[in-house]
Structure formats: C-alpha cells, structure tokens
C-alpha cells in the first residue's frame, strides 16, 4: 500500500471520527447532579461515658449526632424547569436514621424558590424547586442521629433526565489522587506519541507513522478518563 493510500485512509477515518466527537460534545441535554460532602459527626458519646453524660437535642437525649451536606447542581446545558419535575427530588434515609433538622444553605441564586418537606412515613426529605439554569446550584444540610454513613437513596422523576447523578466526596482521596497521577502520565505519553509521529512523518516521509498518532490519541483519551472517572469506578479501584 503506497503513501497516498495511507493518507486517504487517515482522512476517511478522521472524517468519521471528528463529526461524532463534535456531536457528543455539543449535544444539548439536561443533567442533575447531587454532590455529597464528607460525613461529619457533631456529637459522638463513647460507651464508657454515655451513662454519665446526657446530651439533648430539642429535649431528646442523643448519643450521636451527624451532619451531611449535599450540593444539588444543574450540570447539563439545558434549564430544568418546574413543569419538567414530575416527581420532586427525594432523599430517602434508612430506618435507623432519625432526621432532626434540615435546611437550605449556600444559595447562590437568591431568586431560586426551593421547598423542603419531611415525610415521616418514608423517613425522607423531599426537595422541589422552580428553576435551575445551567450551573445553578444550592446546598441542603441534614442533621440526624443513628443510621450509617452511606448516602441516602435518591428518588426522582424529571422530564428529560433518565437518572440523577451522584458524586460522593467520602471516597478515599488517596485512590483519587492515584488515578489523577495515572491520568497525567497517560496524557503526557499520548501527547509525546502524537507529536513524535508527526515529526517522523515529516522527516522520513513514511505515512506508517500515522498509526503511532492513533495510539497516542487513544492514550490521551484514556488519560482524560482516568483523571475524572465515574465515581463507581473509584469505589472499586
């Protein structure tokens, strides 16, 4: 196969790949993300002293009291409107958890109207809002005792959103740093392979080196993926 044939194959391949990448990047979509902050213990009475110390919260004796914050963010590129919400966002806690308090904090866009409701039967907090534009976000704060450190179950039904994305910042940060380092190495390696293949084609006039450019491209993509992998992958890494 001569050099012209290799160039034609390369151009044909790029003609297919580039439009697909552009389409994926520019695709308009709705996306809602819940970002959970690390679990934080406000009160934790040790067994050795719990008979000697009595701590009250709203006239109720408690042995442990915890707080959890969650950011609700429109991470897509389309607005989420009130009429899109068929079933409001709902955070369902396990039965061992007793919700003591809940509130809205860090509301950057003051005009957003947010309503919170406590459903005692389901042991859940329901959250509804009128409008979230692109990159709009607000923070909810839950105070409770008992239960586990797991994030609550999220139930919702919003037109145009198949599922609510969850990011849990309690994931081991050392694992995330390790993947971040691997991602940087892959990105550097991919760029080095791509640049060296271009110089090789120019210096040696051999289109076979374009194959090295493709390998470099995929190595670069793997690096980007490793730097920001799905949270489920981080949990099992």
The tens digit of pLDDT for each residue in 125-179 reads: 999 999 999 889 999 999 988 767 788 999 999 998 988 988 877 655 556 667 7
So what's the pLDDT on residue 232? 45
- What dihedral angle (degrees, nearest 10) is formed by the CA atoms of 155, 159, 163, 165? -90
Segment 121-125 shows an average pLDDT of 94
Mean pLDDT of the chain: 76
List where CATH 2.60.40.290 sits in the chain: 32-168
So what's the pLDDT on residue 183? 77
Contacts of 86 (CB under 8 A, 6+ apart): 157, 158, 159
Whether the CB-CB separation of 66 and 39 falls below 8 Å is answered with: yes
Q: What would be the CATH architecture of the domain defined by 32-168?
A: Sandwich (2.60)
So what's the pLDDT on residue 121? 92
Rounded CA gap, 15 and 7, in Å? Answer: 12
Residue labelled with tokens 């969850």:
166
Q: Residue 234: which pLDDT band, with cuts at 50, 70 and 90?
A: very low
| Phi, psi for 139 (deg, rounded to 5) | -120, 135
Q: Is a pLDDT exceeding 90 seen at residue 214?
A: no
For 6-23, the pLDDT digits (tens) are 555 555 565 556 565 655
CA 218 vs. chain centroid, Å, equals: 23
The model's pTM is 0.61
For 87-106, the pLDDT digits (tens) are 999 999 998 888 988 999 87
Whether the CB-CB separation of 148 and 122 falls below 8 Å is answered with: no
């Amino acid at each position: 196969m001569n050099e012209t044939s290799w160039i034609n194959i390369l151009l044909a391949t790029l003609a297919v790949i580039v439009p697909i990448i552009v389409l994926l990047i520019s695709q308009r979509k709705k996306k809602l993300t819940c970002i959970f902050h690390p679990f934080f213990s406000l009160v934790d009475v040790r067994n050795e002293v719990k008979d000697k110390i009595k701590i009250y919260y709203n006239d109720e004796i408690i042995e442990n009291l915890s707080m959890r914050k969650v950011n609700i963010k429109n991470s897509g590129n389309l607005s989420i409107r009130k009429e899109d919400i068929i079933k409001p966002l709902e955070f369902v806690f396990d039965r061992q958890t007793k919700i003591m308090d809940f509130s809205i904090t860090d509301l950057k866009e003051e005009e957003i109207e947010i309503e919170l409701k406590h459903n005692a039967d389901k042991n859940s907090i329901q959250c509804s809002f009128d409008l979230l534009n692109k990159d709009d976000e607000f923070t909810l704060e839950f105070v409770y005792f008992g239960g586990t450190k797991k994030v609550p179950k999220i139930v919702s039904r919003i037109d145009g959103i198949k599922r609510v994305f969850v990011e849990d910042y309690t994931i081991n940060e050392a694992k995330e740093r390790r993947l971040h380092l691997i991602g940087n190495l892959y990105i550097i390696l991919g760029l080095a392979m791509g640049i060296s293949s271009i110089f090789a084609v120019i210096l040696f006039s051999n289109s076979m080196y374009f194959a090295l450019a493709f390998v470099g491209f995929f190595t670069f993509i793997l690096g980007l993926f490793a730097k920001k992998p799905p949270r489920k992958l981080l949990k099992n890494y």
